[in-house]
Structure 1
Amino acid sequence: MERIIELRPELVQALLETFAMIGVAIPIAVLLGTPLGIWLFVHAPGSIAPQPKLHAFVSGLVNMLRSFPFLILLIAIIPFTRFVVGTTVGTAAAIVPLTINAIPYFARLVEQNITQLGTGAVEASRAMGATRGQIIRNVLLVDAKPGIIGSITITTVSFISYSAMVGLVGGGGIGDFAIRYGYYRYETPVMIIAVVLMVLLVTMVQWGGNRLARVTDKRL
């Protein structure tokens, strides 16, 4: 315990760095990924305003970015990261690949949330003369709200683990803390504390997200 108390300032700093990475990457992913997911649904073949060729291109690009192994992406975009934030190490540098990876990841989840609603409400709205914008704002987003909240939860949990990976390249956060003390210095108790904190963080996010999704679900 003496060693844990000694390292407490560094552990607190690591937690703050993890919060910073997630606190920037996830809101940007929601802000940009939501309209992208809506666009993918609206312009899919057989949807509200189909554009098959353009949709195929954008969908393929989303799939490519979403499925790209994160560590490889982290290394591959180093020049871009340096251009954006002026460095390739630290928390600010880690936010760039996290955000780039999170946007298509969340966009695909949003598209799936809306697709699962079915076509009944959309067709009824169109029959009543609703515009495309009204259908999106007043029908699709309203009905898909619980699913989108669940998707935000899933994305946050996934990228908490991704944020730990950036520790391998000096990205800061709990992952960097665990690697420095648990792996390089063989201080197993310190690494266990870091792991427990990560598990608690994920558990809290999952619990909060599930609760909020239930509250907003008008079917319950």
Structure 2
Amino acid sequence: MKILLVEDDRLLAQEIANALRAENFAVDIAMNGEDGQHLGDTEPYDVAILDLGLPKIPGAQVLRAWRKNGRQLPVLILTARDGWTDKVDGFKAGADDYLTKPFRIEELVMRLRALVRRASGHAAPRLVCGPLSFEAQTGVFELDGLPLKLTALEWRVLECLIMRKDAVVERSVLTDKVYEGDAGTDSNSLEVIVARLRRKLGKAMIETERGRGYKLTAGPP
């Protein structure tokens, strides 16, 4: 999962980003509304965390611009304000959920997972593909009922694939959503990560669509 975090409080932004990366998410940070709006318009994200009180361009204005430009990614707004009217403005601008500061990181993670799950068309928190299951609320994969040990990059690839199971996920989409500037290194190449996953899941579960990308399937009957 690739997340855009638009937050002008540098310490809070780093705290949130570190916590999300510990959950295997890829995170880009923008420190003002102008940079956040640009990233949201030009980069592929699964979800955005957007503070309302931003310098340069207010958060609600950023969100209205995204929606006007056809960007439909789920957006969770953050606000330190107590007034209900601020939250209403956020929802009118196109927000999908909100949190009022201060908040617990654990709640933020659960809300983000729920937003992405619904946006992917999965209402249930547990996704199943043959012997593989994924608890979307906790981020835990199991294979044949046993926890599956994965590296951070393996987890990101597999999470992207299971969210779109039985559909081809293009290589460019996987690369954009999985890596944080290290996609060019040999040890972290997409082919290497997929090969590792095949050794753990069985070769038949991840199909290669030549010239396109990869598809997660239930494997042989």
TM over 0.5: no
Indicate the structure (1 or 2) with the bigger Cα radius of gyration: 1
Higher RCO by CA contacts (8 Å cutoff, separation 6 or greater): 1
Q: How high is the TM-score relative to the length of structure 2?
A: 0.24
Q: Which has the higher helix share?
A: 1
Higher strand share goes to which structure?
A: 2
Structure 1 length as normaliser, TM-score?
Answer: 0.24
